Amino acid sequence: MNRVQNRRADRETINHRKERRKICMSRKFFTEPSTWGIKCNFYLTIIILLPTLIFIALYMNPHSWRPMDDVTKCKTSEGPPPPPLQPPPPPPQCNLFSGKWVFDNKSQTLYNGTKCIYMSDEFACEKFGRKDLKYLKWRWQPHHCDLPRFNATALLERLRNKRLLFVGDSLNRNQWVSLVCMVESSIPHWSLKSFSQNVSYGSFLTFKAIAYNASIEYYWAPMLVESNSDDPVNHRLPDRFVRVKAIEKHARFWNDADILVFNSYLWWRWPEMKVLWGSFDSPDGIYKIIKNPHPYEMALQTWSDWLEFHINPNKTTIFFMSMSPTHQWAEEWGKSEGQNCYNETEPIFKEGFWGRGSYISLMRAIEAAIDNLKCRGVNVRFLNITQLSEYRKDAHPTVYKKIWNPTEEQLARPIRYADCTHWCLPGVPDVWNQLLYAYILDKSYDQRNIG
């Protein structure tokens, strides 16, 4: 009996060993018979401990094993989600009319005022004795961009076989003289340029660049429509009146111009105007005194109608210069009453300065007229030179110009006849023409802010 039990125990032991050997052999851990038991136990222990250690490691760092969605949810739950990536802000828009005057004693003026043979004595400040020439050293610097550099040859090439015509009052003539001086210095030989003046026939001043068959002209029409001040020489009358519905006498000379540059403000700055319906010579004419800006608006309506029906927009480019400011009241910039721009030597540095001589009502009237013309298919580019010119109280001729018939009182007190309306040349109108030049040569400025 004991022998049978011993045989059964030996058989079970053998079977158990066989099973353990199979396990070890399946993992390629079989060794020599003398050591296989110890080594197999060691490897079995590692096999059991290794998954346990991996599980503990993952449990201690939960973010490393969670699905991506769970990790994202966990991170976003700690605070508000980060803002989406935004594109960088666009660069500031280039507005050539918004900026400041900077002192620049290195750059030269675009021409020498004492050498320009077409200079007018009304604007020739250095010729008539102005010693302080600091006013020549200020350069207009737009915010966020630079004023395009003026190139007289490039302008003349653009004007080849064309006619550029300034129409308006004496401030438009101030600008015309400036542009002629800016251009003529690039034409050295006298035989390649010419000048003519025809007071009786259309009040024309004409400069021609012969090699380019280009003309730069000025036409005197201070109110655009007809008035009793249309004589370019004898127009200072005590009783001024205007025919707001009549323009053809002037406009017939504008028809074939390729570029028209208008202005008309200076003579409209009165509280009221005498308006005439009918002709100057007719005894049946009707006069009526009307408060401004209504007469100005009526004149602009007549001007607009003429443009719509007589100008070919595919041929002619039209500009309107905004109001040129005056500096008649020195108390506006901190001086005592009774003074004006006389003896001023520096600009006004207060940004946004606006004098009471610049009438907002007239500015709004022309802006409304231009907007209305656009709806009628006529594009007029409004060049707003008012603000940049407001700062330059130092740049007027004052007494440094040819004075026509001064009185003894004026000679005794020069401040009484100081010209604080027009501008010395070289000077501020040169900047107006640099702006005009930018718009003539670069059509992309039409898509930008025009002041």
- Catalytic residue numbers read 170, 419, 422
Strands 380-383 and 241-243 turn out to be unpaired
Residue 313 neighbours by CB under 8 Å, 6+ apart: 377, 378, 379
Partner residues linked to 189 by β-bridges: none
Strands 259-262 and 317-321 turn out to be parallel
Partner residues linked to 205 by β-bridges: 197, 218
DSSP 146: -
- Alpha carbon 349 to its chain centroid, in Å, reads 20
DSSP 255: T
Element (H, E) at 153: helix 152-158
Cis preceding linkage at 188, omega within 30: no
Residue owning tokens 């023409």 = 433
> Contact, 251 vs 257, CB < 8 A?
no
> Contact, 274 vs 288, CB < 8 A?
yes
Residue 52 neighbours by CB under 8 Å, 6+ apart: none
What residue type is 171 in one-letter code?
L
Report d(CA 123, CA 258) in Å as an integer.
Answer: 27
DSSP 398: B
